[in-house]
Structure 1
Amino acid sequence: MKMNQRVKASIATVIVAGSLFSFTVPMANAAEDAGTVTSARSFPKLNATKVDLLVESASVAADDSTSYGGVESLNVPQTKSQAEIDAEAKAKAEAEAKAQAAAQAASRASSRQSLNSNTNSNNASSNSTSSSNNGTNSSSNTNKGTASGTSGTSQSTGSTSVSGNTAALIAYALQFQGVPYVIGGTTPSGWDCSGFTSYVYGHFGISLSRTTDGQRGAGTRVSDPQPGDLMWKPGHVGIYIGNGKMVHATKPGDVTKVASTNWYSGWEYYRVM
């Protein structure tokens, strides 16, 4: 009895489901017949570039019409290294030093030639005088007495008479014309005023102080200056050569030369020979 009821219930369920299906299908068809609203968008076709990552990129030639300013043709100034600049400066300094040395040598040679000419002329005059004096015994004796009181043969600088040693000292000092002034220098390669005087007098065995102030008071102070006397003023010294002239190492940037004594009025003169 129960079995029959179950069978009947299953049949009834199948019948109901079939009825629902048959009802749904016509409604779907009706919706399709009524027209469904649809929308569509079109997209432009893209040209995709295929890239093969395993192949090396080929070089692309630059456009010849493109100008970058002509870099290769620019006139770029050539610069010099510091080493090249230093080398050029050194070469220039050496050339100037050689030229100055040559000029000084020429000046000294000219001074020596002039001094030799003056010495030969003075010697000839002295020999002529001696020959003339030999004519009379009294004159000869007088000359001998005078000669015994001086050192060497008498010579003259302009109108001033000087002894042999003094003439030699002046000639020795004059040959150094053109030597550059060097502060603290004491040799013919360069010296200051006191270095010059101490060098010249030292050559004749006369020792002077190295400094200007130290040389003041050397020998005997005199009021009638004679060739060979040491000249002194505050901060400077020189050698008097007669006729209002002196030879001295002048000042920085200048050279040893002959000058007038008139540029200073307060000279002190010391006789050291």
Structure 2
Amino acid sequence: MCYLHVLMMNRTKSLTAAVAIVATSMMLTAFAPSATAAGDDSAASSSATVSSSRSFKAVQPKSDLLKESTSTTNDGGWGTQTLDVPQTKSQAEKDAEAARAAAEAAAAQAAQAAAASRSTDRESLPASGTQSFAVAPPNGASAASVLSFANQFVGKVPYVYGGSTTAGWDCSGFVQYVFASVGISLPRASGAQATVGTAVPDLSQAMPGDIIANGGHAGIYIGNGMVVNALNPSQGTAVSSVGVSFSGGYSIRRVL
């Protein structure tokens, strides 16, 4: 009997303890939300779930996929940034640019050469050869007009070998210049001038305005056995006798 009594008492104690544990757990469960709500906010914060989100801006696709871009803009929500994209050139464009550059260089070189040539020509003429006097143009294509025009240069224009302007001329250059002023084109050399127009057989039949020329000299006859001509470097444009101007034979040619 003592053994059974003791066993029954132990079971009663175990059952009582189990009931007590279950009751305590139920009480804690019932009061836990209010304790957490009324108690510590930081504990609730630490147990809360953290979430993050980020939005991205859609990029509008290019409508013309074959057109080359020169710039692009990136706006992802962190600020706008524009990038310059260098534009490429086709081989044809590169070749065209190279051709233009070569043409410009050639033109510049030609202009420089022409300027140097003009400078050399100016330096070959004496300073006194620059025309600084008034010249009346010819009044028609007549012998009198030719002689009036030619006599304006006497004592004023120097003799320059190879020259053909009022800055300085040689004998045939002077004759060519004077007749060109009345619209008559003559060869440059005196020997060729001795073959133009109509031949006059003798000086006694020569008329003012006729050309007297040979292979070494040329002048314009003014009458009385005299010619106006670019005589020599020491006398320049002058009036002299036919005998002084021509030491040998000559030809008399009429072009007016």
Q: Same fold (TM over 0.5)?
A: no
**TM-score, normalised by the number of residues in structure 2:** 0.43
